[in-house]
Amino acid sequence: MRNTGPIVVLTDHSSTEGSSAVLARAVELVTDTAPLVLDARHFYDGGDGALRVDGPPTLTVPSERIEVRPGALVVYEIPPIDRHRLTRFQAVVARSGIPCLGADAQAWRNATDKRRTVERFHAAGIPQEESLVLDDPTPSAASAAFERLGRDVWTRPVIGFGGRDVFHATNDAQLHAARELYRKTGTSWLLTRDAQNFDERGRRHQYRVVVLGRRVLRVCEHVQADPDAPCNAAQGAVSTVLPLNALPRRMHELAIRATASVGLSFGGVDLVPEHGGVVFEVNVHPVLDVPQGFETVAVPFLLAHLSEADAPDMPRSTAVHPQH
């Protein structure tokens, strides 16, 4: 018989994106009971939190006088730069048997570290624009990579967030300004060929497709009027929620394949339809505090955890993959 303890929502409380509150609402709607919301930083390396598995799996946070046996664990809203600090905790969760969807540490790494994303996409045959990874390159090495990619590229950190420190470069001055910024911050970075993702009005655009198993939950188009700015809402792009059928089935399938290629069962895929479909990245934790994010993403994501909890003897790939 499965544990019927409280659902625990574990997020980094230093984050301001708002997904934690959306998930808590989803738990209350579905179970008619408030979750226990904990700060994930307790469970980072060096934190005072722990998951004991010498008996019934029990989360403890001594500083908060918390000791609880979770019925399910929802891990979300962990900043990309800090995800590695949760790896040891995730390994214990994986052994514990606590229902916890999409929290595999290796999959997180594959999606978070863009050099690994490029490798995984290549191995799985996921179409992508050509990228080159640069680690503190000399000016001549950066220029050579720039030339190879046709002198129309995007520069981006290997581990980034929200389109920050992402630049469009079409001349040497732009390239080396980006190179110098990454050098000063000790950041590894990528050069990626421009996808020429313009709509019929000449604006940059891309789609965010949220995937759960074999199912597409939400489609949103991001439109950016500035051709030299990233297509992120945080960078001024305008987002519009679209009907699921606004994208052809082949694009749904591409998003599903891209998510699986990095080892995730849930993720937010950024892609464009140009050139037959090109994928940019898979986001581990797509922001939920967005129009229709509660009903289209947060609630199904929470229900998948409960489905897994109700089917503990089923393989996780079966228990958490809702069908069409």
d(CA 91, CA 97): 11
Q: What is the pLDDT along the chain (324 residues), one digit of tens a residue?
A: 345 699 999 999 999 999 999 999 999 999 999 999 999 999 999 999 999 999 999 999 999 999 999 999 999 999 999 999 999 999 999 999 999 998 899 999 999 999 999 999 999 999 999 999 999 999 999 999 999 999 999 999 999 988 899 999 999 999 999 999 999 999 999 999 999 999 999 999 999 999 999 999 999 999 999 999 999 888 999 999 999 999 999 999 999 999 999 999 999 999 999 989 999 999 999 999 999 999 999 999 999 999 865 543 333 333 333 333
d(CA 136, CA 59): 41
pLDDT of residue 4: 66
Contact yes or no for 83/160 (Cβ under 8 A): no
Domains and CATH numbers, the chain: 7-103 (3.40.50), 130-193 (3.30.1490.20), 204-291 (3.30.470.20)
Give the count of beta carbons closer than 10 Å to the beta carbon of residue 266.
26
Contact yes or no for 34/28 (Cβ under 8 A): yes
Output the CA torsion sign for 159, 162, 163, 164. Answer: negative
d(CA 227, CA 218): 25
pLDDT of residue 34: 96
Contacts with 36 (C-beta within 8 Å, 6 or more apart), sequence order = 6, 7, 8, 9, 66, 68, 70
Tokens of 250: 């082949």
Q: Which amino acid is at 247?
A: L
| End-to-end alpha carbon distance in the chain | 29
pLDDT of residue 310: 54
pTM of the model: 0.92
Rounded to 10°, the helix 87-96/105-112 angle is 140
Q: Go through 169-198 and write b for each residue having 16 or more CB atoms within 10 A of its CB, e for each that does not.
A: beeeebbbebbeebeeeebbbbbbbbbebe
In the block, residue with structure tokens 């997904």 = 19
DSSP label at 191? E
pLDDT of residue 323: 34
Contacts with 213 (C-beta within 8 Å, 6 or more apart), sequence order = 256, 265, 266, 304, 320, 321, 322
pLDDT of residue 234: 86
d(CA 110, CA 124): 13
At 121, which helix (H) or strand (E)?
helix 114-124
d(CA 318, CA 98): 16
Phi then psi for residue 20, to 5 deg, are -60, -45
pLDDT of residue 171: 98
d(CA 290, CA 115): 28
Contacts with 295 (C-beta within 8 Å, 6 or more apart), sequence order = none
d(CA 14, CA 279): 30
pLDDT of residue 102: 85
What are the CB-based long-range contacts (under 8 Å, 24+) for 113-122? 113/158, 113/159, 114/156, 114/157, 114/158, 114/159, 114/160, 114/190, 114/281, 115/158, 115/188, 115/190, 116/262, 117/262, 117/281, 117/282, 118/190, 120/261, 120/262, 120/263, 121/258, 121/261, 121/279
At 8, which helix (H) or strand (E)?
strand 7-11
